[in-house]
Amino acid sequence: MKSKSENLIDPNLDQLICEEQDPHFGKHPCPCCGDRKAGDRYDCKAILRYQSAIDVLKDYDGSPIIYSVCPDCVSNFQ
């Protein structure tokens, strides 16, 4: 497992905010740690160190980017 400072989303990632309590199955690599194993994924929004909890990473059209991350990353970034 990578440390909190090492992730593939952004070097300034501070927190992942998950909207749902139950995971879903994902077969793609985790976008945060790069783990290639299929398994549980949680849909989360990313908060950077210099942002507030209201300010999440947004797409070019202004909608929040949702990352389907593994349970290890969820626990690492809460």
**What residues make up the domain containing 41?**
13-76
**Residue 53 counted as domain residue:** yes
* C-alpha–C-alpha distance, residues 34 and 51, integer Å: 24
**Residue 60 counted as domain residue:** yes
Whether residue 78 contacts residue 15, with contact meaning beta carbons closer than 8 Å, is answered with: yes
Q: pLDDT tens digits, the chain, 78 residues: what are they?
A: 555 557 899 888 999 999 888 999 999 999 999 999 999 999 999 998 887 767 788 888 888 899 999 999 999 998
Strands annotated E in 1-78: 13-18, 24-26, 39-48, 67-69
Give me the number of domains the chain comprises: 1
Q: Looking at the whole model, is its pTM more than 0.85?
A: no
| Residue 4, both tokens | 């909190």
**Residue 28 counted as domain residue:** yes
